[in-house]
Amino acid sequence: MNPIQNKEVIFQHLGLVDYQEAWDYQEKLFANTIQRKIENRKIPENEQQITSNYLLFCQHPHVYTLGKSGHLEHLLLDEQSLKEKQAKFYKINRGGDITYHGPGQIVAYPILDLDNFFTDIHRYLRFLEESVILTLADYGLEAGRIEGLTGVWLDHIEQQHPRKICAMGVKSSRWVTMHGLAFNVNSNLQYFEYIVPCGIKDKAVTSLENELGARQNIQEVEARLKKHLAALFEMKLKEERNQQFSAVKL
């Protein structure tokens, strides 16, 4: 464990960024944090350096990603069809099956050293879900979890017409996290018709815009989500501009 828990979290908004670029950036931050933890174990506790934490928000152009436990047949488009839909496809190193990212969706990538917070991956996942549940409550929507399934759902109790509004998939090593959540705000739901979302064949996907019947101010939703994440994790957020992505505007 770190000698001192560092609850400061550097927040960066990357804008609309290619999935591969964001993935590479995550990997860099993830690897640097793990390397610092390895080096800390080699020196006396009073000489160890604190590890950094990051919270990245962004949106992606149309892209499908397949987790380690996913099935390729859950992508219903061939290579030519992907080009026609102006979408990319990546196999990635998070858990979970196939999912979609695109404009109008808030993607949150926490790169946290959980030694700075709590070493419980299940609690970590529940906090990610809870941040979205609380954000939806701000808009008058009751959301929650469905046993045995990941993410955040509407009509999660009676399940007459359960609808997934947020997908999740994470990776962790030495208590350092990466990947995260994808919250459908103004998403083009047609793109979900080209996959079996998260490998679930009998349940629908929705968005905040779809549920409320009007396009939403995504910056406002981001602010609410960020507030709830900070409160749940007791983060001390420090906003920082990333020059690598600063030229990209939404």
Catalytic residues: 198
Chain centroid to CA 117 = 18
Polymer length in residues for the chain: 250
Other CB atoms within a 10 A radius of the CB of residue 84 amount to 10
- Contact (CB, 8 A) for 130 and 228: yes
Pairing mode of beta strands 204-205, 163-173: parallel
Amino acid (1-letter code) at residue 43: I
- Contact (CB, 8 A) for 106 and 183: yes
Radius of gyration of the chain (CA): 18
- Contact (CB, 8 A) for 180 and 109: yes
Tokens of 165: 């509004």
